[in-house]
Structure 1
Amino acid sequence: MTPTTSSDPVATGAVVADGIVVVDKPAGLTSHTVVARIRRLAGTRKVGHAGTLDPMATGVLVVGLNRATRLLGHLQLADKSYDATILLGASTSTDDAEGETVTTASTEALAGVTADGIEAAVAGFRGEISQIPSKVSAIKVDGKRAYERVRAGEEVELKARSVTISRYDVLDVRPGPEGISVDISVDCSSGTYIRALARDLGVRLGVGGHLTMLRRTRVGSFGISTAHTLEELAESFSFLPIADVAADTFPRFDADAEQAAAIRTGRPLAGLKLAPGQTAMFDPTGTFLALYEPHGPLAKPTAVFVS
């Protein structure tokens, strides 16, 4: 996909069209704040994101503009990749470096943790596992975010959920004065909490653990190599047009004029042999119109993106 660039739309009075922005989120900002920045830079209020990142985390945040906000829910964004650093030797109230220290391992206990022992423990977290999310996650408990309840001093108990860790590599092990730093790289399913992986690795090794660095390097097909910082976007706004994203993500069908007229109003089409799943429908000018999927002898819309 080739990104489209423009000067600052706010300065020129222009409004960016439908598309996807891959942002390299900095540490210290919430995903909501990033969306607010993109609204200003893109000159549109209709902006949404997929896959929230914690303020301490950096990396890939996929943002939709205008009609592409609706496309986000249809993209294959479940698989994600992260680079992270775990500090073994202490557990915290938030399972990361921003929380208060809850337990600290003894020097003797840490001395018993070896690189081979860490690798053996990590192996137990590969594949489909049951994971209890961090208590400071955004999961709602009786209508209120878990992290809001924790910050209010409430006790929160979250249920375990099934997640898949398809890759969990130990990149480096570095003993230090505060504990043992372990650099990891992970491919996982949506809903996986890397903070929980840090916590659980520390529990399995008997010394406690928490996350000190987290960087998301991929969301679906959108990698860090295509991401732009907010500073770069402020200088030259870059986005992937919705038609390019659709064509690269789904099978493509180029409709004739009569078919395109029906697609624009979301009417079923007969006689089309579409591939299983969703197909991106285009009109004769190359405009992306809708996503359709087969239903018996008919092709029916799952989402129409033009009016």
Structure 2
Amino acid sequence: MPDPFTRPRAEPSTRSGILLVDKPGGMTSHDVVSATRRLAGTRKVGHAGTLDPMATGLLVLGINSSTRLLTFVVGLDKEYLATIRLGEGTTTDDAEGEVTSTAAAGVVAGLGDDAIGTQIGRLTGDIVQVPSTVSAIKVDGKRAYALAREGVDVQLKARPVTVSEFEVLSRTPATSASGTPVVDLEVRVVCSSGTYIRALARDLGAALDTGGHLVALRRTRIGPFSVDAAAELDTVVVADALQSPSQAASELFPTLRLSEEQTIDLGHGKRLVLGDVPDASGPVAAIAPDDRLVGLVAVSHGTAKILANFPSDEPQTKPDDA
């Protein structure tokens, strides 16, 4: 098992916050959550967006009451660095699947940068994408990847996504394990939530008549959160790395600084009369004088109304093994 599972379990804790973790390859997102439960001393840990086991990079975790913030993180745009291999298609659209197609002799060698750029351009912007068959999308109550493993022919519906940036950073000729000439493209992708980078690799290969699949994937950003600020799971000290609820909420939303009286009133669910304050199009983080996140509010017509409270403390419970 990965090292985090052999580290000593933390004492039960009710401390809340957001933890940024740089997920290593070979672990599932659930593995990271399970390890973090041990290291944080609580069962109340969730994440905002799954990464495949082969992928590395940023996982945003919510601890205790800050799991409520994850709802607002899941839908944010994401940035990835990836390696797309042109010349072979696979059953899973990534390197973990079996090769199902190879490019005809000379096709990969004759592939020009202009042709690649043209097809990448067609996969940029507001597009319609068919998710990979081995995705976590549910079909009749079961995950698509589980059905695929059972031999079921899974047909997923196309869905609109936005690829705001899709650029080639480098191009390297290579030879696959089967001896097929291939080209590896190092790319950077910025996209909306729900975009499958494996599907981009598949569709780029199909458009170029070479076949294509994902060789490597690293998530570098989710909304305002960067992997540069993330901790390594093997060495993280949760108490030191945890972003406070107010700190994380201030990254996600505009802020409203409260007086002592306003803090008490909002905590009791009362509306706050703010006077000449501009309306907000989304949630606003209401911060107490002691820098505690009181809650998220809607601001309209000079009035703040609570959307979600954030308790300052929670009952302690002994965490179970995960």
Taking structure 1 as the reference length, the TM-score comes to: 0.92
Q: 1:9 to 1:245 in 2, by over 3 A?
A: farther
What is the aligned counterpart of 1:205 among 208, 211, 223? 208
CA spacing shift, 1:76–1:26, aligned 2, 3 Å? closer
**TM-aligned CA deviation for residue 297 of structure 1:** 5.4
Decide which of 183, 186, 194 is 1:183's aligned counterpart: 186
Residue of structure 1 in register with 2:230 after alignment: 227
Contact in 2 for aligned 1:21/1:63 (Cα 8 Å):
yes
Name the counterpart of 1:3.
Answer: none
Alpha-carbon deviations, 1:76-117, whole Å to 9, x = none?
A: 752100000011111100000101111111222223212222
State the shift of 1:293 in Å.
0.8
**What corresponds to 1:253 in structure 2?**
256
Query: Equivalent residue for 1:239?
Result: 242
**Matches of 1:176 and 1:282 in 2, distance apart?**
54
The match for 1:86 is: 84
Once the 2 structures are TM-superposed, how far is the Cα of residue 301 of structure 1 from its aligned partner?
1.1
With 136-145 and 235-244 compared, the bigger mean Cα shift is at 235-244
Match of 1:287 among 283, 292, 310: 292
What is the aligned partner in structure 2 of residue 25 from structure 1? 23
Asked whether the 8 Å contact 2:131–2:199 carries over to 1, the reply is yes
* SS of match in other structure, 2:213: strand
Cα deviation 1:95-141 (Å, max 9, x = unaligned): 00101111111222223212222122111111111110000000011
> Partner residue of 1:43?
41
Q: Which position in structure 2 is the counterpart of 1:305? A: 310
Structure 1 vs Structure 2 CA RMSD: 1.9
Alignment match of 2:117 (pick from 85, 100, 119): 119
Runs of at least 5 residues in structure 2 that lack an aligned partner in the other structure: 1-6, 177-181, 313-322
Say if 1:9 and 1:16, in contact at 8 Å, map to a contact too.
no
d(CA) in 1 for partners of 2:215 and 2:70? 30
Q: Match for residue 136 of structure 2?
A: 138
- Where 2:234 maps in the other structure, the secondary structure is helix
**Where does residue 128 of structure 1 map in the other structure?**
126
Moved more, 15-24 or 205-214: 15-24
Give the C-alpha shift of residue 183 in structure 1.
Answer: 0.8
Distance in 1, Cα, partners of 2:40 & 2:302: 42
TM-superposed deviation, 1:16: 5.9
Distance 1:282 1:111, change over 3 A: closer
Q: Match of 1:4?
A: none
Whether the aligned pair in 1 keeps the contact of 2:279 and 2:300 (CA below 8 Å) is no
| Residues 41, 237 of structure 1: 8 Å contact kept | no
Distance change >3 Å, CA 92–CA 76, structure 1 → 2:
closer
Conserved 8 A contact 1:84-1:183: yes
- Which letter does structure 2 place at the counterpart of 1:285? D
Letter in 1 for 2:241: S
Partner of 1:278: 283
Alpha-carbon shift at residue 233 of structure 1 (Å) = 0.7
2:205 alignment partner AA = G
Structure 1 stretch displaced more, 101-110 or 246-255 = 246-255
The 1:163/1:294 distance shift into structure 2, 3 A limit, reads same
SS in 2 for 1:108: coil
Instruction: Answer yes or no: is the 8 Å Cα contact 1:10–1:40 preserved in 2.
Output: yes
Report the 3-state secondary structure (helix = DSSP H, G, I; strand = E; otherwise coil) of the residue aligned with 1:233.
coil
Tell me if the contact between 1:20 and 1:239 (Cα under 8 Å) persists in the aligned partners.
yes
Q: Do the aligned residues in 1 keep the contact of 2:73 with 2:222 (CA within 8 Å)?
A: no
Contact (CA 8 Å) 1:251, 1:275: kept in 2 or not? no
Q: Tell me: CA distance 1:271–1:115, structure 2 relative to 1, closer, same or farther (3 Å).
A: closer
Deviation at 1:226, TM superposition (A): 0.3
CA distance in 1, matches of 2:107, 2:14: 57
Question: What is the one-letter code of the residue matched to 1:208?
Answer: G
Quick one: distance in 2 between partners of 1:235 and 1:50?
17
What is the alpha-carbon distance in structure 1 between the residues aligned to residue 157 and residue 77 of structure 2? 22
SS of 2:194's equivalent? Answer: coil
8 A Cα contact 2:83 2:216, kept in partner:
yes
Count of aligned residue pairs for this structure pair: 299
Task: Give the 3 Å change call, closer, same or farther, for CA 21–36 of structure 1 in structure 2.
Answer: same
Question: 1:258-292 deviations in whole A, cap 9, x for unaligned?
Answer: 22122112222234435412221122322210111
1:264 match: 267
Percent identity, aligned pairs only? 47
Name structure 1 gaps, 5 residues minimum: 1-7
For residue 170 of structure 1, the aligned residue among 164, 168, 171 is: 168
Contact 1:9–1:42 at 8 Å: present in 2 too?
no
Which AA in structure 1 matches 2:76?
A: A
